[in-house]
Amino acid sequence: MSENSQSKASLYIVATPIGNLADMTGRAIEILKSVDLIAAEDTRHSGRLLQHFGIGTRMMSYHDFSEDYRVDSLLEKLSSGLSVALISDAGTPLISDPGYRLVVRARAAGITVVPVPGVCALTTALSVAGLPSDRFAFEGFVSSKRAARVKQFEEWLPEARTMIFYESPHRILECVEDMLTVFGPDRHVVLCRELTKTFETIHGDNLGDLLPWMQNDSNQQRGEFVVLIKGAEAPKSEEVDAEALRVLAILLEDLSVKQAASLAARITGVKKNLLYQRALQGVMAS
């Protein structure tokens, strides 16, 4: 069966390079050439990519701020038997990029949604960071407002998984300053800058040394960033005495883990983070 016949009435989610054009897959090129329409986050930006690979397929703009009529228009085309490919400015669509509403409605309408995998900044950074990758949490972009950003970091403080988020060059220095304030100088963080591009930098260090390294080299404050934070060390059981565990267990009967840990810390004097971790693990664990 030809690619054209396969593509009818299908929505393709196509990954594109995040920097190095050589990372474009052969399948992605074939799909983009064969579909009837490409829905792009930024048609001018994507136009340069398509021109590079000799792809002449018609494009239309689709992004998170598109009106409902744009989604309706795409669904109408798909329902009529046309094939559509969705691409973002860089990387895999729907990973902190537009497309969620379109995919949800396409699946609800019985339209086949086909992944065409490729580069993703999230997994690219995780593969080279040297941090635990068996369990991790991706948070997209953190808040642009400092108070909200600090609150997010405070919520992550006891998190044992590797935490990953994206950041822009305009806020990266303030972001690292806030991380130092919340996580302290000893927490290990890896900055991945301009991945796959000419000035790619992958640098990991404790926050106490990472901040001055950035401050002393303005070049390290430029470009797009993936930030990875090493998870919190699990507390040792002997650090929480039996009485504190008893209080925590009682409070957990009526309160959330966060509330119980906070109140138990006030009652017993044991650090809230230790009690929070024990609550997650099961207070009676030895």
Write out pLDDT tens, residues 79-122.
999 999 999 999 999 887 767 889 999 999 999 999 999 999 99
- Whether the model clears a pTM of 0.85, i.e. scores above it, the answer is no
Closest C-alpha among 112, 91, 115 to residue 15: 91
- Candidates 3.40.1010.10, 2.60.120.10, 3.40.50.280, 3.40.718.10; CATH matching 3-119: 3.40.1010.10
Quick check: helix, strand or coil at residue 82? coil
The answer to whether residue 275 scores a pLDDT higher than 50 is yes
SS3 call for 75: helix
Q: How far is CA 262 from the centre of its chain?
A: 29
152 to 26, 74, 139, 146, 185: CA distances (angstroms): 40, 36, 10, 10, 18
Count H helices and E strands in the chain, helices first. Answer: 12, 10
**65 vs 234 pLDDT, higher one:** 234
Q: Is the pLDDT of residue 28 over 50?
A: yes
Domain spanning 122-229: CATH superfamily: Tetrapyrrole methylase, C-terminal domain (3.30.950.10)
Query: What percentage of the chain exceeds 70 in pLDDT?
Result: 92
Given a contact cutoff of 8 angstroms between Cβ atoms, the answer to whether 46 and 15 are in contact is no
Name the band, by pLDDT with cuts 50, 70 and 90, for residue 8: low
